[in-house]
Amino acid sequence: LCSMCAWRRSLKIASHNKLIVEEANRQYKPSWIFLTLTVKNVEGDDLKQTITDMMQGFRRLFQYKKVKTGTLGFFRALEITKNHEENTYHPHFHVLIPVRKSYFTHNYIKQS
């Protein structure tokens, strides 16, 4: 809960992730997708169950054959922000996904 410790921890994780991304880029030359998955804000009493459900849903998503074969892995970070006005919490995932370059010609759903 210490903000200084959280900041130092985030720097350490970012450093490790940077090394992994550099090695993945060197070996596989992937393209990268940044994905944010979110749910509606929840009360504090519901936060633990919501996070459990999100983790379970994320695991289930990456077990789908098309997702499993279309991706090379992922980095996932859970972030929880607080709405102080409504006293609710907003859990969400930030996901960095390496994919083969061919992903964008075969599987990609364009925003337009």
d(CA 100, CA 32): 9
Give the per-residue pLDDT at 106.
Answer: 77
Whole-prediction pTM: 0.85
pLDDT > 90? residue 29 = yes
pLDDT > 90? residue 2 = no
Q: Within a domain: residue 58?
A: yes
| Residue percentage of the chain with pLDDT more than 70 | 97
Under 8 Å between Cβ of 25 and 95? no
Q: Within a domain: residue 7?
A: no
- Mean pLDDT for 50-74 is 94
- Mean pLDDT for 49-64 is 97
The rounded mean pLDDT for the chain is 93
Q: Within a domain: residue 102?
A: yes
What is the residue range of 83's domain?
A: 29-106
DSSP letters for 22-78: HHHHHHH--EEEEEEEE---B-GGGHHHHHHHHHHHHHHHTTSHHHHHH-S--EEEE
Number of domains in the chain: 1
Q: What would the pLDDT profile of 67-112 be if each residue is shown by its tens digit?
A: 898 899 999 999 999 999 999 999 999 999 999 988 888 777 777 7
Q: Within a domain: residue 12?
A: no
